[in-house]
Chain A
Amino acid sequence: MKWETVIGLEVHTQLATKSKIFSGSSTAFGAAPNTQASAVDIALPGVLPVLNKGAVECAIRFGLAIGATLNRVNVFDRKNYFYPDLPKGYQISQLAKPIVEGGALTIAVDGEEKTIHLTRAHMEEDAGKSLHEDFHGMTGIDLNRAGTPLLEIVSEPEMRSSAEAVAYARALHTLVTWIGICDGNMQEGSFRVDANVSVRPVGQAEFGTRREIKNLNSFKFLQQAIDYEVRWQIETLEDGGRIEQATVLFDPDTGETRMMRSKEDAHDYRYFPDPDLLPVKLDDAWIESVRAVLPELPAAMQAHFQRDYGVSAYDAAVLTGSRALADYFEAVAKTCGQGKLAANWVMGELAAALNKAELDIGQSPVSAARLGALIARIQDGTLSGKLARQVFEGLWEGAGEVDAIIEARGLKQMSDSGELEKIIDEVLAANQKSVEEFRSGKDKAFNALIGQVMKASRGKANPAQVNTLLKAKLQN
């Protein structure tokens, strides 16, 4: 039987606010345990939550960026369950009236574009952390994370492979970091993915029973977990078994998923509107003021890069992988006026050097202005590609401005044709054998001669000029 995979994702993004969603505690990562947990965060009796305007604004930004409906009145609910890292005994979330509904994201897999629709996105608070190392047989609770604002972003079950799920998660990651609502740090848990996975025979209209894989914190694990889960579900069904609705965890060490809890002991969350919080009202003036400062979005920027800088669709997609990269590329392209060459340098030489040094674009020792100046020197014939790479090394080492490096290291391409002709004459005289071979029809000999001239000029000759002059001399 042929099977079809059905995947929907729920992504918890930590919002990049300074303070928590319902208290004035800091959200900074890595503080000593419980030093950022206020009376509200630890749920002392009698305290009341006060909503953070910054968190609501992040949600508005997101809603605008995906073309969603913003609910002008949205409501916080209590989701009741008991766990020691949730000291109130309920999580404040949004159920019936979330702030964001609908919207869509476009993904590309193997050059095929696909639109993934979103169901909703709602604001909620994060829980604390439980540390299960041995504290005399007890569990340690750190409530620094309790009350950190989250936007839970829920997609429709529209993905049909792990590759599509990863492409969607990546596109979402790019978007939330692009619009500055989330730092995107997956190691620190700022972007956590739950995958709802089911399979059904191809052609069947109803969905199969789904299992939810919780808390995947890398794109690689997302792919591995879904691939394992899909194989497991298909094998179970083909062996005559049934899939029970369940929550599962992925173990990166074994590459397998295992059951965390079945539907039998699924929680009954008894949601109801939180009487401590009033409905949140968004007025048009607020929404429009947020829209006014929204940056150009990745899809629009891709089109603009193709149109204004002549880069390919593929390059445009790579260059808009993050806002920092896109801004860098655009600054280079503007400085040098050479979009395609700028794209090649940013995605080639620069990306390789950053990769090797394990730096990201924001930490590049070579500024966009300097890389642009370097490319301008290739364009005006001062530098060959080879010389430019040497200048780039100088820039990387912090040796100063492009022209200063060219001057100091004597890297200027030879533009004086008299000087070049002299070198060519010397090379021809010293390589009579190659000259004879060329004249007897061996084209390869010509390349050998060009190589010799370039060598004799210590790489400073303009290869195109060498080619022309050499040809002219040999034909005489």
Chain B
Amino acid sequence: MSLTPDDVKRIARLARIEIDDAQAQATQARLNSIFDLIASMQAVNTDGIAPMAHAQEVTQRLRDDAVTETDRHAAFQAVAPAVENGLYLVPKVIE
């Protein structure tokens, strides 16, 4: 599989990354080399092998349902660019 410049731009837009044409071209070459690696992995015969959801054959550890966190919003908000009434402020978004 190989990516077109349009694919690269679309991926960049989905990731909210701004790139110009020169960067798109450079990125296209690098992404394609990653896809080459994937292609060689996909060439391996995996018939009869159940797909894994994780690289390790282990299962999720669970925690008991208990409240263990305390209110630390003052510390977290000390490094936020804009805060008011306990809210994080961000550029206006209306869908």
Contacts and interface: CB of A to CB of B under 8 A. Distances in A.
Interface residues of B, number: 36
Interface string B64-95: 11111101110011000010111111111111
A432 B83 CA distance: 89
Contact of A26 (B53, B69, B88, B93): B69
A23 interface: yes
A24 B62 contact: no
Interface of A is mostly: loop
Nearest to B75: A39
17 contacts: A19-B65, A24-B63, A32-B86, A34-B77, A34-B88, A36-B69, A44-B76, A52-B63, A75-B53, A84-B90, A135-B87, A140-B87, A140-B88, A141-B89, A268-B14, A275-B55, A279-B59
Given A33-B73, A50-B63, A138-B91, 8 more contacts: A19-B65, A34-B77, A34-B88, A53-B64, A135-B84, A277-B60, A279-B60, A280-B59
Interface of A: 17-19, 23-26, 32-39, 42, 44, 50-56, 73, 75, 80, 82-84, 97, 130-132, 135-143, 260-261, 268, 270, 273, 275, 277-281
A198 to B, nearest CB: 23
B67 to A, nearest CB: 5
Nearest to A25: B69
Interface string B4-15: 000000000010
Given A139-B92, A275-B54, A24 B59 contact: no
A138 B82 contact: yes
Contacts of A273: 53-54
Nearest to B77: A34
Interface of B: 14, 16, 53-56, 58-69, 71-73, 76-77, 82, 84-95
Nearest to B73: A34
B62 A140 contact: no
Contacts of A143: 88
Contacts of B64: 53-54
Given A19-B68, A33-B85, A141-B88, A278 B59 contact: yes
